Amino acid sequence: MKKREQSLFKEMKKNYQGYIFMVPLVAGILLLNIVPMVQSLIYSFMDYDMMNKMEWVGFGNYKTMFTIDFKPVLASLNATFLYCIISIPLNMVLSYFLALLLNAKLKGIGIFRTLIYLPCVIPPIASALLWQDMFDPQFGILNRILEIFQLPKSMWLDSPDSALGTMIFMNLWGLGGGMILWLASFKNIPPSLYEAAKIDGASYIVQLFYITVPMTTPIIFYNLLNSMIGGLQVFTSFLMTTSSTLYDNIYFFAVRIYNEAFVSFNMGYASALAWILFMIIALLSLAMFKWNRWVFFGDEN
């Protein structure tokens, strides 16, 4: 045992240079991840406003969340989950279709790809400006267009009934982001599989469900995980609303955390909320890794 320790130490000493390359990484993880995580956990048990109040309240913040504040907190969780449950599958399926279309070997297909991806590269602030104007119930272009086709108008963001739907609709403008990922994953499928299928006379639909989809399951998994982690932190309604139009059903959890922390300076309570969100994300991620038998990880497994 002692000998093994000694040889490990020797090995470390001999290769000490490798650790020099790890210095910025370790410093970064300590200063930007571990210290803040611990700090925020401690704050979550405190009443802290960054001015003069800083006292230990035990589980007080968590208690508030589940008693006095239960209704708004639950509403925020609901809004966030509902947004994720509708928006994520919708985005994934539609962007997959789009990628299938854009995977066709046609002249000029690159131009279509570029143009459809374009909305993903412009600043969210600019797209918020733009959509806010288009959604205006009175003067907005969308209602004008609906009018031309004699369809019923919508209040878009100006009514609690349509606000969440509008958020989900707006999010579809970014389908290009998912599309690029799918296109990359299609490239990694060995062409021999399709050739074999063609010889067997398999139709396009059969090829799609027996080759393309199974072969891209790792990216589907990766994309689903990422969308979930990102979706639970959705923040867009912050840009699109004012305090009077931030209805309960688009008052996303991350917006609530932001307001508690950086508007009201309830740092302790905000940290507690943030930790709840972290726990939800961690649990759901773990669950996804546990139930990932549908993912095809290649031949080695």
20 near another protein, judged by CB under 8 A: yes
Instruction: Identify which of residues 7 and 161 has a Cβ nearer to another protein in the complex.
Output: 7
Report the site for another protein in 269-298 (rule: CB under 8 A).
270-271, 274-275, 277-278, 281-282, 285
Sequence letter at residue 217: T
Distance in Å, CB of 12 to another protein, minimum: 5
Distance in Å, CB of 227 to another protein, minimum: 14
Q: Which of 160, 206, 262, 283 binds another protein (CB under 8 A)?
A: 262
114 near another protein, judged by CB under 8 A: yes
- Helix 2-14 crosses helix 16-28 at what angle (to 10 degrees)? 80
Q: Which of 40, 78, 207, 245 binds another protein (CB under 8 A)?
A: 40
Report the site for another protein in 117-156 (rule: CB under 8 A).
117-119, 121-134, 139, 141, 144-145, 148
Instruction: Identify which of residues 33 and 161 has a Cβ nearer to another protein in the complex.
Output: 33
Q: Which of 104, 199, 205, 294 binds another protein (CB under 8 A)?
A: 104
Q: Are 75 and 249 in contact (CB under 8 A)?
A: yes
246 near another protein, judged by CB under 8 A: no
Report the site for another protein in 70-99 (rule: CB under 8 A).
98
Instruction: Identify which of residues 24 and 152 has a Cβ nearer to another protein in the complex.
Output: 24
Distance in Å, CB of 299 to another protein, minimum: 14
Instruction: Identify which of residues 127 and 212 has a Cβ nearer to another protein in the complex.
Output: 127
Which residues fall within 8 angstroms of residue 148, CB to CB, at 6 or more apart?
Answer: none
Q: Which of 62, 81, 235, 296 binds another protein (CB under 8 A)?
A: 235
263 near another protein, judged by CB under 8 A: no
Distance in Å, CB of 187 to another protein, minimum: 7
Distance in Å, CB of 160 to another protein, minimum: 21
Instruction: Identify which of residues 36 and 160 has a Cβ nearer to another protein in the complex.
Output: 36
Q: Ramachandran region of residue 276, left (φ > 0), alpha (ψ -120 to 50) or beta? A: alpha
22 near another protein, judged by CB under 8 A: yes
Instruction: Identify which of residues 89 and 124 has a Cβ nearer to another protein in the complex.
Output: 124
